[in-house]
Amino acid sequence: MIELAHRLPQRRKLVTALPGPRSAALAARRKAAVAAGVGSTAPVFAADADGGVLVDVDGNSLIDLGSGIAVTSVGASHPAVAAAIAEQAARFTHTCFMVTPYEEYVRVAEELAALTPGDHDKRSVLFNSGAEAVENAVKVARLATGRTAVVAFDHAYHGRTNLTMALTAKNMPYKERFGPFAPEIYRMPMSYPYRDEPGLTGAMAARRAISRIETQLGADAVAAVIVEPIQGEGGFIVPAPGFLAALSDWAREHGIVFIADEVQTGFARTGAWFACEHEGVVPDLITMAKGIAGGMPLAAVTGRAELLDAVHSGGLGGTYGGNPVACAAASATLGVMRELDLPARAREIEAVVLPRLRELAAETGVVGDVRGRGAMLALELVRPGTAEPAPELAKAVAANALSQGLLTLTCGTYGNVIRLLPPLVIGPDLLADGIGVLADALRASA
């Protein structure tokens, strides 16, 4: 892994206890002005970020192994992205594509057609958030099939709007008392190799879900099956090999739209442009956001031309969808990803980090499972000698790491997963330091 040039020194350095006085003062202002329902992982306020570091308002330099939840894969201030944003903003920030179209939107759609799996004829539509992309993929699938039922999976996360809350599996904190939820959503068992009965193959896990769909709904009622090829918020669950392929084959046989939600896994994160590629799966529709635009809010649905073109003119859109500044950032981001071959870099990160995580698992006895692909890696923490989830341990490890200047995220249905989502441009020394801090935090808390 080569060291890339960065604007900020790529090193961990604490100059105050966390939070420092400036962050503490901002936290007090925040409490009086910002809704309590918005949580934050870290108690520090950001001032600057570049490569693999995030500098807070007190001058502490933290190692960022979260990338703002898999968003800043090219870093949070890549010069090519910043320049594209400035150049576009200086010409025009908005016209509304539904009023006066512009080339930047078309270019992103062309790029997505070329990048996403499959060589069929494709169309794209752009939005502002992952949830909006998912909502619209479901709209397209329902209209194109004339059916209503949508199948989602255990541990799924698809967003926080009404329809996507219904698709999301976990109650706290996403759904608790926010109902009633959108109807016609059906939840099926996921392939979760660590927690499934031993020997359950991907094909068997798919069959388990399919037979339930067939008996409870009937295949003919189903408009779409939506699945994250590697589940994100649900715990970085990598389904057993063959699960996705069996599911998508069955969907195709029955005229069901197979939607891959690659909002978290897309854009080089897992060592391929899209995680479906690892399983040789070509989705009918693919939802994307997070890593697409170097931090700018942009989302997309790309898929089969006959599905997206089935929708009447005016049926899809939104005031800000495909904002020109966000589109310019996306084209620049995709250019950086190609130029630096970030899928290969994600594989290098896996090659460096995964063995270290396995060593840690063997050493500490509190890691039930080490999993993930590319730069989307996780530790599932359990009580020693059992598979019982240890969420308090995950919390303690993340807090300990943070106190030493390492930002990590937790996730999982049981809240017991430490997930690593480094910017793909992180350098080898900083990455090694980060994993060292994580190891110490795990040892100290276990």
Ligand X SMILES: *Cc1c(COP(=O)(O)O)cnc(C)c1O
Stretch that binds ligand X, among 125-133, 250-258, 345-353, 390-398 (CB under 6 A): 125-133
The one segment of 26-34, 124-132, 207-215, 328-336 that binds ligand X by CB under 6 A: 124-132
Among 201, 184, 129, 121, CA closest to 161: 129
For residue 441, the one-letter residue type is: A
Would you say 273 or 348 has its CB closer to ligand X? 273
Segment interacting with ligand X (CB under 6 A) among 16-24, 259-267, 332-340, 429-437:
259-267
Q: Give residue for tokens 């039922």.
A: 149
E strand or H helix that includes residue 380 = strand 376-381
Of residues 382, 366, 300, the one with CA closest to residue 333: 300
With CB under 6 A as the contact rule, which of the stretches 95-103, 228-236, 243-251, 425-433 interacts with ligand X? 228-236
Return the structure tokens found at 46: 């950001």
Q: Quick check: 238 binds ligand X (CB under 6 A)?
A: no
- Contact call for residue 129 and ligand X (CB under 6 A): yes
- DSSP lists the bridge partners of residue 64 as 407
Whole-angstrom distance, CA of residue 421 vs CA of residue 378: 9
Helix (H) or strand (E) run with residue 54 in it:
strand 53-56
* Least gap, CB of 275 to ligand X (angstroms): 10
Residue 225, beta-bridge partner list: 151, 258
CB of 267 to ligand X, least distance (A): 12
Structure tokens at 258: 């197979």
Both structure tokens of 110: 């062309």
Residue from the set 23, 72, 88, 264 that interacts with ligand X by CB under 6 A: 264
Name which position in 51, 202, 232, 322 contacts ligand X (CB under 6 A): 232
378 touches ligand X (CB under 6 A): no
Print the binding letters for residues 178-217 with ligand X: x by CB under 6 A, - otherwise.
----------------------------------------
Measure the CA–CA gap between 260 and 270, rounded to whole angstroms: 14
Binding mask 409-428 for ligand X (x = CB under 6 A): --------------------
Helices (H), 92-235: 103-115, 130-145, 162-167, 202-216
Question: Is 228 an interacting residue with respect to ligand X (CB under 6 A)?
Answer: yes
* Segment 150 to 169, residues that bind ligand X, using CB under 6 A: 157-159
Is 18 or 156 the residue whose CB approaches ligand X more closely? 156
Q: Which of 246, 204, 242 is nearest to 225 (CA)?
A: 246
Between CA 144 and CA 150 the distance in angstroms is 13
Of 18, 126, 131, 379, the one binding ligand X by CB under 6 A: 131
Among the listed ranges 89-97, 130-138, 239-247, 323-331, the one in contact with ligand X (CB under 6 A) is 130-138
Is 134 near ligand X (CB under 6 A)? yes
Instruction: Compare residues 157 and 437 and give the one whose CB is closer to ligand X.
Output: 157
Give how many residues touch ligand X by CB under 6 A: 14
Closest-by-Cβ residue to ligand X is 130
Q: Is the peptide bond before 19 cis (omega within 30 degrees of 0)?
A: yes
CA dist 99 and 116 (Å) reads 28
401 contacts 12 by C-beta, under 8 angstroms: no
- The strand order across the sheet containing 53-56 reads 46-50, 53-56, 61-64, 406-407
Q: Are the CB atoms for 299 and 305 separated by under 8 Å?
A: no
Q: Compute the least distance from the CB of residue 157 to ligand X, in Å.
A: 5
**One residue of 66, 130, 294, 427 binding ligand X per CB under 6 A:** 130
Taking the complex as a whole, the smallest distance from the CB of residue 408 to ligand X amounts, in Å, to: 17
Residues lying near ligand X in the complex (CB under 6 A): 129-131, 134, 157-159, 228, 232-233, 261, 263-264, 289
